[in-house]
Each structure stands twice: as structure tokens, then as C-alpha cells.
Structure 1
Amino acid sequence: MKKIYLGVAGVFVSLLIFGTMLYESAERAECYDLFLSQYESYVYTSPGDKFNVTIYWCSSHNVTSRSRIVVKIPQLKVWVVYNGTLLQTGPGWYKELQVPLHVLFNHNVTLTNLSATVKILDDTKREYSLVLGNWSFEVSDHMNPLNITEYTEKVFSFNEGYSFISYKVGILNPLNTTVYVMNITYSGISGISTVAIACYNATSIFDTPELYNVKNIPKDSLLPQEGCAIPPEEERFIVMYMNITPSVKMLLIKPKIVYRIADKDKNETMAGGIMEFVRIHERCNSEGS
């Protein structure tokens, strides 16, 4: 009987240790923050240009006025500090870390698996190494004689399948001659394709059709071979319709807009506004959001 009691005691102790290990493991897992950051990116830009990229953060702890978040991107010489309570909350209840990027180079650059570190300082101290994805910068000393008035900034998807999205941009022609928008382009990104480009005479991007299938694009709005004509002091809205494959979880594009001024034979280029496409697979349920 003594051996039996010792055996039972041994089993009980083993179960207690195993249970403690499971609890500690679960407790550690609950302490992990979740980040959405891995973009496939194309940026048409010029030396000295500045723009923001968003890191989406689901905090494992309550975000208070004492919370400080430090983001560093060594390759792009970025160092920025945030006050947790001043962060905006986006779809899925993720906090948005708006990271300013400054183009410090004057030539084309491709960055694969761009890395960043995030330190979170509150009641605890946590540090994470992030991958910001793959970035293609096409750098040009282009001039922007046309005015970008509006553009699609963010598109969110809550499914993992193929997505049909649109990039919309409003262009105002301040010149005294007609301008023709010939194309909107990007390069270096796999998993996305342009299926059509359309030109609309509207008062806002919100007045352009909201379409979910390429078959529904009005044929008389498709970009003509001679381009979308924008008379002097008038505005047109160019819409690029794209298919996104499931392999692309996040996308950032600042496309190249190709145009021609009526009294010139040569095409010119300018940068559009930045659009982010983000897949959100699960809602952030932490106290921090």
C-alpha cells in the first residue's frame, strides 16, 4: 500500500507541475502583442519626399497615458515615440502607429524584408522585432504641375480570398491647356494586377461608382487610348481597378501617374497619393484597444 500511495503522490505532483507549466505557457502567450506590418510596396517618389506608413497594433496590455511606444527602422533612419492615448483606433480595434518615412536617397532602392523594432513601455517593458515587408522605391526628380485633390487612403478586407479593389485619385488641372492622363502604373509587386482604368467626371471620389466586379465597369468610362482629357481648371477622377491574390496580406502603393500636356509630345510623370490595403483576419479583443 505504501508504494501505491507514493505512486499516487508522484502522479499528483507531476500533474501539478505540468498544470503549472501549462498555466505559465498560456500566461506568456497572452502577453504577446499582435502587429500587422508586412507590406508589399511600390512607392513612386522624389528625393526629400515624406509620407506615413501604418503599423497596426493589438496591445496585450491596457494602453494608458503612461504608455510609450518607440518605433525604430534603422535602414530608413526612423526613430519615433508615441503616447499611447493619442493613437487612433482603426478597423478591427487595432491601434494605428503612423510611422513617418523620409526619402533620403536619390536613386531607385529595393528593400527586402525591411526590419523594425517596437518597444512598448508601460507597466511592463516589451520589445518586438517586426518585418515591414518588401519595398520598391522608384525615385525621380519629377515635377507636379497638376494637383492631387483626393485619393483612396485605406482599403480593408476581412476575408482571405481574392479581393477586387479600386484606387481612386482626383486630379485638378491648373494649367491653361488640356492635360491627358495616359496611365497609372506600379511595378515590382507580385500578387496584384490591374484589370482596368476608368475616367469619371464627378464632384468627388465618393461620387464615382463603387464596383465589386470588373464586368460592372461602365464601358464609356474606360480610359481611352488618347488618355483622360482634363480641360483647364477642371477636375477628373481616375480609378484603377485591381485584383489582389490571397498571398498579398498587406499592400502599399504610391503609383506613378503618366500624363501628357496637349501642346507637348512627351509624356510626363507624377506621384499619386498613398493607398494601403490591409487584410484583418481577427478582431483585436485586448484591453489595450
Structure 2
Amino acid sequence: MIEKLRENFYLILVSFVAFVLFFSVSLGIYVDKISKNDLQDKFISERVAYVYASPNESIEATIFWCPPSLEKNVSITISTPLGLLVQYKGEKLQRSFRGYFSMIVPVKFLSLDFGSYEFENLNSYIYVTTPTKTKKFTLSLGNWTIETSKEIALKLIITESNRYAITFVNDSKLVKYEIGLFNPTNDTIYVINFSYVLYPQTLETLAIACYNATSILDLPKIEKVEDVSKIPKESLVSSTTGCQIPPREKRYIVMYIKVDPTVKMLLLRPKIVYKLNNNTFFMPGATMEFVRITERCAD
């Protein structure tokens, strides 16, 4: 009887050990698969974009890249929507926000007549090359609205602007489009609007304000949506009074935009509308990019 119990005990023990070994191996394979899936190249590239430009003008857009590991002698070749090739290697690869590498891609729209155009799911191709292999990625640069005009008049000089706006969370974000404008003429210029056409449900212009400051760093520190209502009325730009820029003087104009959490990237080059001697003119503003980076590049 005792011998029989001993045999059953050993049988149960062997079965248990076998089960533990099998489970450990299976778990190891599963974790290994998860690790391999996590170790992938990550890109931030898809955006909504509005660009006001002259025909055949080139616009620069940024792609952010996080590799699973950065090998020596790596090179990046980017094929733009029109087939132009841009290459980054060695010292040209520079880390940017939260450890991501930033790469500038020229986007040029050829053979456009004057008017407004929609480009959906604009694609770019990226080739990551090491001494042993080449990986190809197809990236979406997002949906673009391009407005071209032959009536662009550069009466104002852009002296300063903010190139990037960054957030690290998935909440609604107050984005500030900031620009310095100098009036080189002998007459007063009135800036009456910054115009763009994008999805109204994802972007909302809360206010446009005019400031007499020495640089962007001296502008009022308005960081939250609820703070926009505190801007003094005399600073707000209206279509009737505009932002008055006397001859040979400079003013800073800030457009406050509420960005929906669904927007991961935004490229904005608005149409500046201004008046000079009772005539209305248009010119492109500076390019600004908003990017939402919620994860740090771990490499």
C-alpha cells in the first residue's frame, strides 16, 4: 500500500515538473515574440496640413523616427511624394524631441494652377540601410490642403516665428502660431486675418492677438485654453481694425488654436490677409508644425 502511494506521488511530481517546464518554455517563446514585436521602427509622420503658397513652391515637413537600435553606418533614404531623394547618415542624424530622430522632407506640388487642392493620404517611402540589410517603410504624410495664388504680395517681412509646437499628452492642446512681421514701407499696414481651411471639428481658432514686443520670448505666457479669454480686448485682432504696423516698425501676431486630441500632427502655413492703402493683399506665413509625442524613444 505504501509502495503504491509512493509510485503515485512520484508520478504526480514528474507530471507537475513536466508541466512547469512546458509552461516556462511556452511563456519564454511568447515573451520573446512580444519583445520582437515591440522592437520595431516607430515613425510619427501622419498629419493634417494647410499650406498657402505660390505654384511650384517647396514646403518642408518633418518625420520623426525611433529605431529599435541605432546600428553603425546606418543611412536613411527618403523618397518624397514626387520622387525626390533625401538622404541622412552619420552626423546628419540628430536626436530631437523625446529621443526621436527628426528628418526634414521637402514636399513640392508641381503643375498646380491657381486655386485650392486636396491631397489625401500623401505617401513617402523610407529605406533604412545598414551594412547587412535594407528595410523599406511606406509612411503616410497625411491629408494636405494646398491653396495657390498668383496674387501673393510680400509687402511684409517675416522676422521671427515658432517652427515647432510639442505636446506629450493626448488631451486637447492650445497651440500658438507666433510670428514677427516688419513693415518696410512708408505706409501703415493693417493685418486683418490669418486664414486656413482645415477640419473645423479638430481645429478651432480661439483668437488672434497683436503685440508690440521685442521678440517671441517676450510674448504673454498663455498656455491653457481657458486663459485665452483673459487677453485684453485692445490686443485682439478684428477684421475691421486689424493689427496696425506703422512704417519701419515690427509687431508680433499670435493665433491661438485649440487642437483636438485626435490630431497627432499639424502642419500650418496660413494665408496672411492685410490692407495697405485701402487695398487687400495676401502672403504666406511661416511654416509651423505641431507634433504629439506621447512615448519616449527608448533607444
TM-score, scaled to structure 2 = 0.86
* 1:110 maps to which of 112, 118, 124: 118
Shift in alpha-carbon separation, 1:18–1:245, aligned structure 2, 3 A:
same
Aligned residues, how many? 282
Q: Distance in 2 between matches of 1:117 and 1:251?
A: 20
- TM-fit CA distance, 1:266: 3.0
Say whether residues 1:72 and 2:79 are aligned partners: yes
Q: Residues 84-95 of structure 1 correspond to what in structure 2 (within 5 A)? A: 84-95=90-101
Match of 1:243 in 2: 258
Match of 1:139 in 2: 148
Q: Distance in 2 between matches of 1:7 and 1:73?
A: 60
Match of 2:4 in 1: none
- TM-fit CA distance, 1:194: 0.5
8 Å Cα contact 1:63-1:85 kept in structure 2: no
Q: Distance in 1 between matches of 2:134 and 2:31?
A: 21
The one-character-per-residue Cα deviations of 1:144-170 (angstroms, maximum 9, x if unpaired) are 121111111100011111111211111
Shift in alpha-carbon separation, 1:105–1:21, aligned structure 2, 3 A:
farther
Say whether residues 1:185 and 2:199 are aligned partners: no
Q: Distance in 1 between matches of 2:137 and 2:295?
A: 20
**Helix, strand or coil: the match of 2:279?**
coil
Match of 1:162 in 2: 172
The one-character-per-residue Cα deviations of 1:107-149 (angstroms, maximum 9, x if unpaired) are 3321111112211112543222211111111111212121111
What RMSD, in angstroms, separates the aligned Cα atoms of the two structures?
Answer: 2.4
Q: Distance in 1 between matches of 2:173 and 2:218?
A: 22
* 2:65 maps to which of 57, 62, 77: 57
TM-score, scaled to structure 1 = 0.89
The one-character-per-residue Cα deviations of 1:49-76 (angstroms, maximum 9, x if unpaired) are 2231100111112253x111111233x3
State the identity %.
Answer: 36
- TM-fit CA distance, 1:230: 1.0
Q: Residue type matched to 1:132 in 2?
A: L
- Unaligned 5+ segments in structure 2 are 1-6
Q: Residue type matched to 1:44 in 2?
A: Y
**Helix, strand or coil: the match of 2:91?**
helix
Q: Residue type matched to 2:251 in 1?
A: R
Q: Distance in 1 between matches of 2:76 and 2:66?
A: 13
Shift in alpha-carbon separation, 1:63–1:231, aligned structure 2, 3 A:
farther
